[in-house]
Structure 1
Amino acid sequence: MIESMKTWTVNRPDEHIVNLFMNELNIPSIHAKILVSRGITDVEQAQSFLHMNTSCLHDPFLLFDMEKAVTRIMQAIGSNEKITVYGDYDADGITSVTVLTTALEQIGANVDFRIPNRFEHGYGPNIELFNEIHNAGTSLIITVDNGISGHEAIAYAKSVGMDIIVTDHHEIGEELPIADAIIHPRHPKGNYPFGELAGVGVAFKLACALLEDVPEELYEIAAIGTVADLVPLKDENRFIVKEGIRRMRMSKRPAIQALAKISATEQSTLNEESLGFMIGPRLNAPGRLGSADSAVHLLKTTDQMEAMSIAEQLDALNKERQALVTEIADEADRALVEMYGDMLPYVIVIAGEGWNQGVVGIVASRLTEKYYRPSIVLSIDKESGIAKGSGRSIQGFDLFKELSKNADLLPHFGGHEMAAGMSLSIEDINSLRDRLNEQGKLGMTDDLLTPRLKVDVPLEIGEIEVDVLEKLELLRPFGVSFEKPVFLIENLSALNIRKIGSAKNHLKLELSDGTNSIDIIGFGNGSIADEMSPGVKLSVTGDLQVNEWNGRKKPQLLLSDLQSDERQLFDLRGIREPNRWISIIPQKNNLFIAFQESSVDHFQSLLNNVQIHQFGQVELMETDHVILLDIPETPDQLKELIVNTNPKRIYAHFHVSESVYFEGIPTREQFGWYYSFLKKRGSFDLRKQVQELSKHKGWKVDTIYFMTMVFSELGFVKIENGLATVREDAVKKNLSEAPTYQKRERQIELENKLVYAPYMELKSWFDEICKETVDKEEQLWI
C-alpha cells in the first residue's frame, strides 16, 4: 500500500449533465466535467460563462456615492485643484493607483499619487502623510484599495480643509468614515449587483464613470491586481481578468513587455498563473522592502528603456525578498525544532528579532504549508517593545475568531478565518503562544490536522488528448471560486518507475489502463519510487499539461498526490548481501522473520542493528512491513504469517542455504538400482564407501544419503553408526510415504513458487493470500 500525503475528497460530477453539456455545447468531456464540478448545471448558464462579453459589466453609477464622487472630481478638474490618489503598497493597490491616475490624466486632472511606506506609515490612511499631502497643495484625496477603516486620518483630512473620496473593497466596520463619498461594492446603503470587486476593480469602475466609457487599455492593469488580490473570479472579476489577459498577450505597453521578459515568460502565453506567480510578486516586491512607487512608475511609463530598467530593479528586489523569506523561514524552522523537538504544537507562534515585517506573512504561509498547522510569525522590535506579524491558518481553525479570544493581549489585530495581522507587546508573546496552543488542542482533531485535497475531475486516460488540453483556454482563468481543477486518474498499472534528475530526487512514471498510457512527473517525489513495486496499481491526482519535446507534443500529469490500496511485493531475491537492500527497508513498523533457526543466526550476524524473529517463536501482530528472510517449511506457515501481520508491504528475500530445486528428487530408476545394490550387498558402510559409490554412479553424496534416509523411514533398511543394512521383513510401500521424501517435494515446490518463479507469478500468489486476508476481515464484520 502507498498512503496518500493528503486526505482525498473525491466529488464526481453528474454524468447526465456532463453528457448534456458535451452534446449541447459541443465541448470535450474534460471541459464539461470541470463546469459541472464547479456548480454550473444549466446549459444557458454554461454558455454565458464560456462566452463572456461586456454585458457582464454593471453600470458604475449603481455603486453608492458614484454620482457624488464623479461630481466632486469633475469640479476639482474644472477649477484645477490638485488631486492626490492615495494607494496601498501591494499589487492591488499599485494597479489601483495606476488605473485611476491614468484615467484622471486623460480628462485633464492635476493629479499625483502617494503610497504609504509599510515600515514608516503602516497600512491605510496616515495622518503624517495626509499632512504632507495637504502642505503640498492637495485639496482632494481619493483613496484606492484602502480607507474604509481609516477613521482618524480621514477626520484629520477633513479638519484641515481637504475633501476625501474613499474607494475600497475591504470589510466595512460598524461605522463608516466621515468621507465626502464612499465607493464600495458592499456599501450598506448600496445595491450594487456584485460585491466581490478587488480594489483595482473599484478604481476601474470609477475610471469608467469618469470617462463615460470603458478604458479598454486599462483591462490588463486591472487584471493583474484582481488576480493578485485573490478575489473570486466570477461575474465582473472574471471578465476583467479574461479580457485583460487577452489584451496583455499582444500588449504594446512597455511594462507588460518588460515584466514578461524579466520573468522569462512568453508574452503570448501569459495567463492567470503568470500574473499570480511571475508578475504579481515583482510588483509586490518594492512595497515589501520599502517604497512601492517604482512599481507604479513602471506600469505608467511609455518608454521601453525605462520600463526595462525599472523591471530589472523590481526583479532584483524580488530576489532579495525571496532570499529574505528563505533566511527567515530557515530561522523559524530552527526555532521551532529547538522549542518543540519532534512534537509539533497545535498552533505555531514563532518570533524573531529584526525579521522583515514585509515578508513574515509569506513565511507564515510556508510554515502552514509545510507543517499543516496554523502559523503566526512575528517580527520583534526591541526598541519599541512591540512585535508585529502575520498569521495563516488551515480549514477548521478560524484564526480571526481564535485571536479575538485574546484581545486583551492584542491591541491591534485584524483579518479573517484564514489570515490575520497583529501587533502586541514582546512580553505577551509567550502568553499568546500558550493560549493559542491550548485553544488549538481543544478545537482541532487529528482529522483536522491532516491536509486535505479536493479532487473533482475524475478522468479516463482516453479522454486526455493534446488538442483537448490546449482548448482548456476556453475555461480560463482559474482562481478563487473557479479553482484550477485537480484531475484524478484511477487504478492504473505502473509500466515504468524511474527516479530522474541529477540528484535522482524527481519521479517519472508511465501508467497504463491496459489500453492507453500517460506519463506522470512528480517533482521532489523521487523517494516514492522506493515504495513502488513493479506493476503496482495506482491512483494519481494532479494537473494535466502538454509536454513538448523535439517538436512532439504529448499529455502528461504533474503529480500532486498518489495512493495505492494494493499490498506491495518487493523482490529482493538474488541479492545475496543484505547490505545491498537493507537501505530501502522503512525503519519503522518492521518484522524481519526467518522460518529456519539457522537463518536467524545467519542474518543476525549480517544485520547487527536489526532484530530477527523466528516464526513460531514470536507473537504475530499487525505491522506495516514484513521482510521474509528465508522460505517456510509449508505454504500454510507463510499464509498464517501474512494473515496475522496484515502488512502493507512484503519484502521477499527468500534465502535458501541448501537449494534442492535443481537437484530435484532421484528417479524411480535411481531408487530401484540403489535398493537392488543394497540387497545384493546386504549392508553398505556410508562413512567409508559413499564417496566411491558417488564417483562410480556420478551421483552427489547428498543424493545417496537422501535415498538411504527414505529407505530407512519406509523400513527398507536400518542405519546404525553409518552402516545401512537391508531389512528382510520390509513391507512394500510407496516412496512418497517417507517424511524426508515429502519434505523434499515440499521444498522443491516452495523453491519453485517462491525463489525461482517470475516476479508476476510470485505476486499473483501473494495477491491470493492477501485476498484471503481481506475476506477474513470482511467476515469479521458480517
Structure 2
Amino acid sequence: MIDSKYKWQLEKPADSTLVERLVKDANIDPFIASMLVQRGITSAESAEDFLNPAVSAFHDPFLMHDMSKGIERIQTAVESGEHITVYGDYDADGITSTTMMYETLSDLGADVDYYIPNRFTEGYGPNVEAFQKVIQKGTTLIVTVDNGVAGNEAIAAANSLHCDVVVTDHHSLPEKLPDAYAIIHPRVKNDDGDAYPFGDLCGAGVAFKVAQALMDEVPSDLIDIAAIGTVADIVSLRDENRAIVKFGVQAISNSQRPGLLALIKEAGIDLGRFSEEDIGFGIAPRLNSLGRIKDAMVGVELLSTFDEERAESLAKFANQQNDLRKSLVDQFFTEAVQSVEDSGDSSPRRTLVVVGHNWHQGVLGIVASRLVDKYQRPTIVMTDTDGSNDLKGSGRSVDHFDLFKAIDPIRDQTVGFGGHHSAVGLTINKNKVALLRDQLEKAAEEQQLDLSAKTPLNIAGVMPVSKITTDLCEKIKTLAPFGQDNPKPVFQIQFDQLANVKVMGKANDHLKFSLVQGNNRLTAIAFGRGSAASVLQNPQTTIQVVGEIGENTWNNRTTLQLMVDDLNQTLPPVLDERTRELHRQMFAHAGVYVFFHERVFKQLQGYVDNQSQAMMYDQITGASVNGERLYIVDCPDVIDDLVKLLAKVQPQTTVLYLYKKQLLSKIGMPDRNSYAKLFRFVKEHSNINIATQLKQISKHLHISARTIIFMVQVFLELDFITIQNRVVNLNPNYAARDLKSAPSYHLRVEQLAAEKKLLVSNTHELVSFVKDCLGV
C-alpha cells in the first residue's frame, strides 16, 4: 500500500473575476493570471513587478540599519590604506558573500584579504582566536559577511585590540547586539523605528547591498554571485531576492567568470537552458561541499580567479569534494538506518538519536535530514572520534516540533549547543546520550508531537495529461525563479493508466513510469520511490500522482516530464487478490476477515490481530463491516452464500483472496460412463476396501482416485452401496434413483459454478460481479 508522504491541499480555483480583470489590465495569458492570483498578485502593477522586475526593484541600500556608518568606515579604511579582512562563513551563502565583498573592496583599491573559519576546528561565526590572528597580521578593520550579529565575545576582543568590526549579517537577532562599529542588518530597526523594506535578504543579499552602497550603483557584475548565495540559502524569492535571482540567472548564462564556467562544466549543466534549479542542484551543493568536507577558502578563489587553468583545477576539486560528500552521506545513511532498525527505535520512539563511529562531521546534518525524510520524526545524528569522550552532531526536525526548544532545557548538560526550530548543532559527553534521548521523548510528549501529522503540500490544481504541452511549460516558466514563497506549481495529474513502470538508479531506488491519457503520454520520475514499483506494476492499482511539470533534455532532445512530489494509492471498491496460498502477512491489515469454511477459519483466525475481526460468513451483520475493509478469505462452495453476504454490507473496500487449494474444475463432474464403470465393478466385487484398494481400482478403471471417492459418496447417499469399516458392498435392495438427487452431486454442481464465477473468471468479470452484488 502506497500512502501519501504529504497532506495534499488542493487550492481553491483562483477567483474568476480577479483573473479576468488581471488578464485584461495586464494583457497576460489566463493561465498565468490564475497562477498569479493564487499567489496573491491581483493588480496589473504587481503582476508587472513580479513577471518583469526592473532595476527599480532594488531598494535604497542606505535604508538599512547602520549602512551609512558602515560605508563611511570602510571608505576611510580604503582611503587610508588600512588592512581590511573580510570574515566569512563556510557555506555557499558565506562563500558568495565573501567573494562579493572581497571583489568590491579590491576594485576600490583596498588592502584586503579574506578569512573563512574552519567548520571543524573553529565553528561558525566570529571566533576570538581567529580575530586575534588576523589582527596580529595587521588588520584594523574586519568586515563580517553572513555572520557576526551574535559574535559579542569576539567583537569585544577585537575592540580591545583597537580593531573595528563592521557586521553585515541576516541571521536571527540575539537579545543583545554586539558592540560592533556598525551592524548592517535588514531586520535591525533604525533609530526612527523603521526597518529595511525587505527583511528576507540572505548574507549574499546583504553583501550585495553593501556593494551597491559602496559603488553608488547596482553592481551588475556581482549579480551572478549574489543569485547563487540567494538560491543556496533558501530565502524568500519575493521582492529584492526575486530581482537578484532573475537577473542573476541571466547573468550566469552569459558569465565570463572562469571559475563559475568551469564549475558549471563539471556539474554537467547546460548553460543554454540555465535556471535557478541548476544553482540549487548543481552549483550550490559543490560550493557547500568544500566547507563540509575540508576548507571553504578555496571557494572564494574559485569564484573570483581569472586564471582559467587554476579555475579548472579548483572546479575539479569542488566536484571531487561533492562526490565524496555524496558517498559519505550514502554510507552513513545506510549505517544509520541499520542502527535504527536493529535498535527497534523506528517504531516505539517519537524521536531518534543515532550515534556513529568516526563519521565525517560535515555531513551529519544531511544524514539527519534523510532520516527525517524516511522516518518522519525529529532526528539527531552524532559521531564519536578516536581519543575524545565527546560526541558532535546535528539535528533536523519535522514542521510541528521545535527541536531547539526541546533540547534547550538540558543546555547546561551539553558541551556546546545552538540552532533554531528545525535544525540544531550540539556537542555532548558520551555519557549524556541517554539523557538526550529521554529529553527528546519528554519534549515530544510536552509538544504533543503527532507522528501521523503530515507536512502540507499545496496543489495548484488538477491537470489532465492531454493539457500538458510545451506551451503550458513555457507559461509556467514565466513564473520563475521558483523557491521559497514562490514555489513551482504542483499539479494533480489526471490520467487513464500507468505504463512502462520500472526502477532506475544504481540501487534501483528511483522510479520511472508513463502517465497515459488517450494518445497522450507523459514521462514521470519519482526519486526515492523505487520500492513502489511492484505495486504500480499491478494493473489493479489505482494511484494519484502530484508533481511539477518540466522538461528533460537528453542527447539534444527535449521532452516534457513530471517530477513527482508524491503518490497516493486509492483502493478501488473491489480488489482482486486471488491466491492459492495464505500467509500471516495477508492478515496484517485492519479489517474484517470472512471465512466460508470452518476448518480454514480455525486454522487461520490466530493470524488476525486485535485491531481486526475474523468471522464465519453466517455471523456477519451489516454493522460489523460497514465502512471497514472486508477480506473474503476463502472461496464459498455456493455462490449464493457470497451474494447474500455482500448484499447486507457496505465495506470501504472488498479484498478477494478466495483461497482454494485445489480446483474441482480441474477434475470436473464424472460422466455417466464413469458412474456405470464403478457401479459394475462394485456389483462384480464384494468387500472392496476403499482405503487399501483405491489406487488399484483407479488404475483398473482409469478414473482418478478423487473422482472415485466422490462417486462412492454419491452412491452411498442414493443407497446403492453400503460402507462398513471402509469396506464397500453393493446394497442388495438398491432401487434406481436419479444421480442428481444426491446431495454431494448437487453440491459439486454448486462448487463448479462457484469456481467458474469466482476463480476461473478474469479480473474484470470477477470485479464486475462483486460490485453488482455490493451495489457499487
TM bin, normalised by shorter chain, reads: 0.7 to 0.9
Q: What is the RMSD computed on CA atoms of the aligned residues?
A: 4.5
Per-residue CA deviation, residues 741-777 of structure 1 (Å, 9 max, x unaligned), is 76465445433322333321212123334x45xx8xx
Q: Does the 8 Å contact 2:594/2:617 carry over to 1?
A: no
TM-aligned CA distance change 1:455 to 1:565, over 3 Å: farther
1:213 maps to 2:214: no
Per the alignment, do residues 384 and 755 of structure 1 end up closer, same or farther by CA in structure 2, a change over 3 Å counting?
A: closer
Q: How far apart, in 2, do the equivalents of 1:64 and 1:550 lie?
A: 51
**Is 1:286–2:290 an aligned residue pair?**
yes
Q: Which residue pairs with 1:314 in the alignment?
A: 318
Q: Matches of 1:635 and 1:491 in 2, distance apart?
A: 37
Q: Give the drift of 1:257.
A: 1.1
Q: What is the 5 A alignment of 1:501-650? A: 507-512=511-516, 516-532=520-536, 533-547=538-552, 554-559=559-564, 560-567=566-573, 569-570=575-576, 572=578, 578=581, 595=596, 616=616, 626=631, 628-637=633-642, 640=645, 643=649, 649-650=655-656
| Greater mean deviation of Cα atoms: 371-380 or 166-175 | 371-380
* Residue of structure 2 equivalent to 1:141: 142
**Residues 1:499 and 1:761: Cα distance change in structure 2 (over 3 Å):** farther
Range 184-193 or range 550-559, more displaced = 550-559
Instruction: Measure, in 2, the Cα distance between the counterparts of 1:29 and 1:765.
Output: 46
CA spacing shift, 1:487–1:21, aligned 2, 3 Å: farther
- Report the counterpart of residue 409 of structure 2 in structure 1: 405
Deviates more, 1:97-106 or 1:753-762: 753-762
- Tell me, yes or no, if structure 1 residue 238 matches structure 2 residue 242: yes
Matches within 5 A, 1:190-589: 190-352=194-356, 354-380=358-384, 385-410=389-414, 412-448=416-452, 450=454, 453-490=457-494, 492-494=496-498, 507-512=511-516, 516-532=520-536, 533-547=538-552, 554-559=559-564, 560-567=566-573, 569-570=575-576, 572=578, 578=581
Deviations along 1:360-414, one digit per CA (max 9) or x if unpaired, are 2222212212211111223446766544332211111112222233333246433
Distance of 1:499 and 1:689 partners within structure 2: 67
Do the aligned partners of 1:169 and 1:185 also contact (CA within 8 Å) in 2? yes
Which residue matches 2:696? none
Judge conservation of contact 2:595–2:616 (CA < 8 Å) in 1: no
For structure 1, the 5+ residue unaligned runs are 678-683, 691-698, 776-782
Paired-residue identity, %: 38
Pick closer, same or farther for the CA change 1:638–1:33 going to 2, 3 Å: farther
Are positions 1:20 and 2:20 aligned together? yes
Q: Deviations along 1:89-134, whole A, 9 cap, x unmatched?
A: 1111111111111111222212111111222322212222222222
Distance 1:659 1:89 in 2: 74
Paired position in structure 2 for 1:56: 57
Residue in 2 aligned with 1:778?
none
Aligned equivalents of 1:408, 1:435: Cα separation in 2 = 13
Structure 1's 661 and 521: CA in aligned 2 closer, same or farther, altered over 3 A? farther
Equivalent residue number for residue 79 of structure 1? 80
CA distance in 2, matches of 1:625, 1:266: 53
252-261 or 348-357: bigger deviation: 348-357
Once the two structures are superposed, residues 422-465 of structure 1 have per-residue CA deviations (whole angstroms, 9 ceiling, x without a partner) of 33444433222211212213423445555554434332223211
Between the aligned partners of 1:145 and 1:500, the Cα distance in structure 2 is 39
* TM-score, structure 2 normalization: 0.82
Q: For residues 398 and 473 of structure 1, what CA distance do their matches in structure 2 show?
A: 35
Is the CA contact (8 Å cut-off) linking 2:142 and 2:166 kept in structure 1?
yes
CA distance in 1, matches of 2:363, 2:130: 23
**1:155 matched to 2:156:** yes
Superimposed CA distance per residue, residues 685-736 of structure 1 (whole angstroms, 9 cap, x where no aligned partner):
684499xxxxxxxx999999999999999x9x988765799979x9xx9x99
Is residue 80–residue 110 contact of structure 1 (8 Å, CA) maintained in 2?
A: yes
CA 1:132–1:614: 2 relative to 1, 3 Å: closer
Aligned to 2:129: 128
Cα offset, 1:525, TM superposition: 3.4
Q: Which residue of 1 aligns with 2:92?
A: 91
Query: SS at the partner of 1:139?
Result: strand
Task: Indicate if the aligned counterparts of 2:498 and 2:515 stay in contact, CA closer than 8 A.
Answer: yes
Deviation at 1:520, TM superposition (A): 3.5
CA distance in 2, matches of 1:636, 1:459: 44
Structure 1 pair 116–708 and aligned structure 2 pair: CA distance change class (3 A): closer
- How far apart, CA to CA, are the structure 2 residues paired with 1:689 and 1:144? 109
Partner residue of 2:663? 657
CA distance in 2, matches of 1:156, 1:725: 120
> Does the Cα contact within 8 Å between 1:485 and 1:543 map onto a contact in 2?
yes
Shift of 1:572: 4.8
Taking the aligned partners of 1:582 and 1:500, their CA distance within structure 2 comes to: 31
Partner SS, residue 275 of structure 1:
helix
Contact 2:535-2:541 within 8 A present in 1 as well: no
Q: Could you say which residue in structure 2 is the equivalent of 1:109?
A: 110
1:664-701 Cα deviation digits (max 9, x unpaired): 999xxx9xxx9xx9xxxxxx9684499xxxxxxxx999
Shift of 1:556: 3.5
Indicate the residue corresponding to 1:681 in structure 2.
none
Q: Distance in 2 between matches of 1:631 and 1:236?
A: 70
Separation in structure 1 between the aligned mates of residue 483 and residue 125 of structure 2, nearest angstrom: 27
Residue 766, structure 1, aligned to residue 766, structure 2: no
- The letter of the residue matching 1:566 is P
3-state SS of paired residue (1:389): strand
Equivalent residue number for residue 6 of structure 1: 5
CA contact (8 A) 2:574 2:770 kept: no
- Secondary structure of 1:226's match? helix
Q: Kindly state the Cα deviation for residue 530 of structure 1 after the two structures are TM-superposed.
A: 3.5
Alignment length, in residue pairs?
Answer: 737
The answer to whether the 8 Å contact 2:126/2:148 transfers is: yes
Cα distance per residue 1:130-164 (max 9 Å; x no partner): 22222222222111111111112112222222222
One-letter amino acid of the structure 1 residue matched with residue 123 of structure 2: G
In the superposition, relative to structure 1, how do residues 143 and 509 fare at CA in structure 2: closer, same or farther (>3 Å)? closer
Q: Aligned equivalents of 2:287 and 2:452: distance in 1?
A: 35
Question: Distance in 2 between the 1:479 and 1:89 partners?
Answer: 22
- Shift in Å, 1:347: 2.1
Q: Structure 1-normalised TM-score?
A: 0.81
How many Å apart are 1:306 and its aligned residue?
Answer: 0.9
1:504-525 per-residue CA deviation (whole Å, 9 max, x = no partner) reads 7654444445675544344453
Deviates more, 1:378-387 or 1:215-224: 378-387
Give the direction of change, closer, same or farther, for the CA distance of 1:614–1:483 in structure 2 (3 Å limit).
closer
C-alpha offsets along residues 618-640 of structure 1, whole Å, 9 cap, x if unaligned? 97787868475545322333663
Residues 284-314 of structure 1: CA distance to partner in whole angstroms, max 9, x if unpaired? 2222233211110000011221111011112
Unpaired segments of 5 or more residues in structure 2? 686-702, 723-728
Aligned-partner Cα distance in 2 for 1:177–1:709: 99
**Superposed displacement of residue 58, structure 1:** 0.4
The answer to whether the Cα contact below 8 Å between 1:85 and 1:143 also exists between their aligned partners in 2 is: yes
User: Contact 2:543/2:568 (CA < 8 Å) preserved in 1?
Assistant: yes
Structure 1 residues 760 and 271: alpha-carbon distance in aligned structure 2, compared to 1, 3 A threshold: same
CA–CA separation in structure 1 for the residues paired with 2:540 and 2:770: 14
Does structure 1 conserve the Cα–Cα contact (< 8 Å) formed by 2:617 and 2:645?
A: no
SS in 2 for 1:435: helix
Q: Aligned equivalents of 1:703 and 1:383: distance in 2?
A: 79
